[in-house]
Amino acid sequence: MDDVVSIPYDSKVFLKIDIEGAEPAALRGAKKILTTNKVKASVCSYHNADDIIKIKSIFQNCGYKIATSEGYMIFVYDPKIWETADFRKGVIYAENF
């Protein structure tokens, strides 16, 4: 994301990311945006079973305050969902100001 979007230093930015399981990769590619701006974000965290761990870790490593959406959901399009039957948080909210 840093290579595609040019944002002036210390800007207020709102990120809404729902890209079908590629959220952790997008956030890793947005390190400059996440660390040099005032950011609020809503990021989907249900596409893969470990997305919530990866996404939380990225934000925490950048010093963000994080919260999750209320309740849980099942992502029925995950081919392993019927084996794991895991409930997932739908969205992670993050901000650094």
- pTM, to two decimals: 0.86
Q: Which of 27-31, 35-39, 44-48, 85-89 has the lowest mean pLDDT?
A: 85-89
CA nearest to 76, candidates 46, 55, 39, 31: 46
The per-residue pLDDT for range 45-75, each reduced to its tens digit, is: 999 889 999 999 999 999 999 999 999 888 8
3-state secondary structure of 27: helix
Place of tokens 């950048």: 62
Residue 2 lies in a domain: no
The per-residue pLDDT for range 2-19, each reduced to its tens digit, is: 777 788 888 999 999 999
Distance (Å, whole) CA 36 – CA 53 = 23
Residue 63 lies in a domain: yes
Residue 4 lies in a domain: no
Distance (Å, whole) CA 54 – CA 49 = 10
Domain count across the chain: 1
Q: What's the whole-number mean pLDDT along residues 36-45?
A: 96
Find the CATH number of the domain harbouring 83: 3.40.50.150
Residue 80 lies in a domain: yes
